[in-house]
Chains A and B, each alone.
Chain A
């Protein structure tokens, strides 16, 4: 059984159809990249899977480990093992990263019928994790994304992903706006995360992240449908040729 299954997904946002029949199958151990020009529906796809309000599923289904997500609340999808790294992570002033992470981790533990971790234990785990990722430990004491640089915000998403150990991680343009160093740190985090039981879906504009995190499949999303799928070499083709040639292919 595939981990994430998107079948014939039709989604409306503010009464406009953005996705019209997306199909995607992601198996354990796989990395998928979804590419496409601005406005093709990439963020709509990830937001819909995560259950953002206002994204109305008109038709089709979303399944994680065989369970349909469509009727689930965002937190229930999280418990089911879904993670979304945001394109624009928001600030929560006054709430420290440590506190936020612990609250999230404890919520997940509670769902699994486990007791909350002791603060001492948690802090120890987090320090180890942060060091492994080459983050400054001070990171944990700061307010969630509060006056973080663009790169720091994206790293913070990776940290949250590693903490929550989801089955499927959707990364929405986590590479955009990163300098070379930050890009490598983020890539390291993703490679650290992946194993034969989980899966990663990268939404990206550029080939450059894919040099560090090599995808098994690359899909091109255009005008609300996946028009082409291939292996990692497709990303290189896109880098060279752009999207126009695909647009012509699909026009009726």
Chain B
């Protein structure tokens, strides 16, 4: 018993990162490198209209003049952007139905526990009517494999398809909203994504429609030396409601892989978007070798009055996380929320948080951030609350808690508040606690083994955030914390 936390390490069985396998499948991969030709080729592969090719090229030219941000509290060797391949896809045409999907791919999703067969879920529904159905868009490297329940959703007027498909089927919506929340020059990684983005999901919920099921996208990186640059666009028209879930995993590799996604949400008058993420990219090994660099730009705009956007994220994976899901509160009486659990173990580094920009009157935002650091990891919350001059009666409540496990990890909090209004109410609460010896001893005295005790204490710490997750995700998130904490005790 050498650590502050008492246990016998030899008794603890180290679980593997269960999603760390590689799918053996023939892949078409672009040679490494980034140039105008590569961008044109991606655009050509997807048979994109001219305007979109130009849009990408413009982003590329601007990106070439930009520099990587260095303000985040993370350290990593510089990335050689010419050593990355910008497109990888299973060989052959896109399957028209599930029957045409390579069985190897189907096995992959089966192993990951992602339902691609609609009837399977439907069968479950008959027995348990309370169980909600989930429609899935499965993105494998640079392309979408399949999207389930499309027909059911269509009956309600809901569009849920891969981004590439939306470019063909709903070009006007794409053209109108693409880059409207995250401009292509917003930041270095967003610009890179704008130039080379491959697949992602597209959602449109028409006026007054409450989406009848949860929508979800499952991102999988498989190919070696590639990056994943997906693009997601969700538009909730007036008075509509949608709940969207996102999950991600990658094989265990010694090289770092780049994931630079952009997600844009648009909520019009009285619309509500609930966006939940359970991020489980490969975090690297205990010495910090390998893992995903997760440099993601996620932003929503409450464009309409009384609109409501909430981000809920559970971040347990990635070697480095650089991510700030934000809300621009433009419409009067709109609401923005950010609920986050970020867990870092071993050598993982996370710099994550949110930005709430209050523009409209009576706008409200809530931030609840729970950072858990274990091992030698570093975990930072970075948040900005901005009250613009027109934001009469705006209010924000921020709660930012850190939990430390062991004595080698670090937690940092960087809250920024910019208020241009006298009447704005901004509250900030922050705490730092550790899993105490007394808590652990009490649990063990009651017969609860140390690992179970830590995971129970951590789950309790995250309760406020887990409450915001859809049921089946809450269970997954809770399990994920257990796996991620393996070896954190002792």
Of A21-29, A86-94, A188-196, A222-230, the one with at least 4 CB within 8 A of chain B: A86-94
A164 touches B447 (CB 8 A): yes
List B residues 434-490 near A (Cβ within 8 Å). 436-439, 441-450, 452, 456-457, 459-464
Which B residues are in CB contact (< 8 Å) with A79? 447
Q: A53-B6, A90-B436, A94-B462 are in contact. Are A74 and B456 (CB under 8 A)?
A: no
A53: B residues at CB distance < 8 A: 1, 6, 437, 441
Q: Tell me the number of A-to-B contacts counted with CB atoms below 8 Å.
A: 78
The one of B8, B450, B456 in contact with A92, judged by C-beta atoms closer than 8 angstroms, is B456
Interface of B is mostly: helix
Query: Are the CB atoms of A50 and B460 closer together than 8 Å?
Result: no
Q: Which residues of B contact A92 (CB under 8 A)?
A: 439, 442-443, 456-457, 460
* B contact residues around A50 at 8 Å (CB): 441, 445
Whole-angstrom CA separation of A92 from B443 in the bound complex: 10
Which chain A residue has the least Cβ–Cβ distance from B457?
A: A92
A107: interface (CB < 8 Å): yes
Instruction: List, in ascending order, chain B residues with CB within 8 A of A99's CB.
Output: 456
For the complex, is A84 an interface residue (Cβ under 8 Å from B)? yes
Interface size on A, residues (CB 8 A): 32
Contacts of B452 in A (CB 8 A): 103, 107
In-complex Cβ contact of B461 among A83, A90, A94 (8 A): A94
CB distance from B239 to the nearest CB of A (A): 35
Residue in contact with A90 in the complex, picked from B1, B438, B456, CB distance below 8 Å: B438
- Which residues from 386 to 435 on chain B have a C-beta closer than 8 Å to any C-beta of chain A? none
How far, in Å, is B402 (CB) from chain A's closest CB?
13
**A104, B448: Cβ atoms closer than 8 Å:** yes
**Docked pose: A164 CA to B445 CA in angstroms:** 11
Q: Is the CB of B456 within 8 A of A75?
A: no
Residues on the B chain within 8 Å of A95, using CB: 456-457, 459-460, 463
B449 cross-chain contacts in A, Cβ below 8 A: 75, 107
Known: A53-B441, A95-B456, A100-B456. A78 touches B461 (CB 8 A): no
Question: Could you tell me how many residues of chain B have their Cβ less than 8 Å away from some Cβ of chain A?
Answer: 26
User: How far does the alpha carbon of A78 sit from the alpha carbon of B456 in the complex, in Å?
Assistant: 18
A76 to chain B, nearest CB (A): 9
Return the 8 tightest CB-CB contacts between A and B, nearest first.
A94-B460, A95-B460, A94-B463, A74-B444, A78-B447, A104-B446, A107-B447, A90-B438
The contact of B442 among A89, A143, A164, by CB within 8 Å, is A89
Shortest CB–CB separation between residue B482 and chain A, in angstroms? 13
Say yes or no: is A73 at the interface (Cβ < 8 Å to chain B).
yes
In whole angstroms, what is the CA distance A74 to B5 when docked?
A: 13
Bound-complex Cα distance A144 to B457 (A): 10
Partner of A108, one of B444, B447, B456: B447
A149 at the interface (CB under 8 A from B): no
| Interface residue? A68 (CB, 8 A) | no
* A41, B6: Cα distance in complex, Å: 23
Contact with B along A100-111 (1 / 0, CB 8 A): 100110011001
B residues less than 8 Å from A100 (CB atoms): 446, 456
CA distance A181 to B441 in the complex (A): 29
Apart from A53-B437, A75-B447, 6 more pairs, CB < 8 Å: A78-B444, A90-B436, A93-B461, A94-B463, A100-B456, A108-B447
Chain A residues with CB under 8 Å of B460's CB are 92-95, 143-144
Residues of A within 8 A of B456 (CB): 92, 95, 99-100, 103
Please judge, given known A-B contacts A53-B6, A95-B460, A99-B456, whether A90 and B442 are in contact too, CB under 8 Å: yes
State A95–B436 Cα separation when bound (angstroms): 15
A160 touches B446 (CB 8 A): yes
B-contact bits for A158-190, CB 8 A (1 contact / 0 none): 001000100000000000000000000000000
Interfacial residues of chain A within 44-64, with CB under 8 A of chain B in the complex: 50-53
CA distance A236 to B18 in the complex (A): 64
Residues of A within 8 A of B464 (CB): 94
Chain A residue at minimum C-beta to C-beta distance from B467: A94
The 8 Å CB contact of A73, one of B8, B446, B461, is B8
- Nearest chain-B residue to A107 (Cβ)? B447
Report the bound CA distance from A127 to B446 in whole Å: 20
Can you give 21 contacting A-B residue pairs, CB < 8 Å? A50-B445, A51-B444, A53-B437, A74-B445, A75-B449, A75-B450, A78-B444, A78-B445, A86-B442, A88-B438, A90-B439, A93-B460, A94-B461, A94-B462, A94-B464, A95-B456, A95-B459, A100-B446, A100-B456, A104-B447, A107-B446
Min CB distance A126 to B, Å, is 15
Whole-angstrom CA separation of A52 from B8 in the bound complex: 14
Residues of B with C-beta under 8 A to A107: 446-449, 452
Contact A73–B444 (Cβ < 8 Å): yes
Whole-angstrom distance from the CB of A174 to the nearest CB of chain B? Answer: 14
The minimal Cβ–Cβ distance linking A215 to chain B, given in whole angstroms, is 23
> B4 to nearest A CB, angstroms?
10
Determine the distance from Cα of A15 to Cα of B60 in the docked complex, in whole angstroms.
67
Chain B residues closer than 8 Å to A78, beta-carbon distance: 444-447
| Most central of A75, A89, A164 by chain B CB within 10 Å | A75
Assembled-state Cα–Cα distance A78/B448 (Å):
9
CA distance A88 to B437 in the complex (A): 13
| Residues in chain B near residue A144, CB distance under 8 A | 460
Residues on the A chain within 8 Å of B444, using CB: 51, 73-75, 78
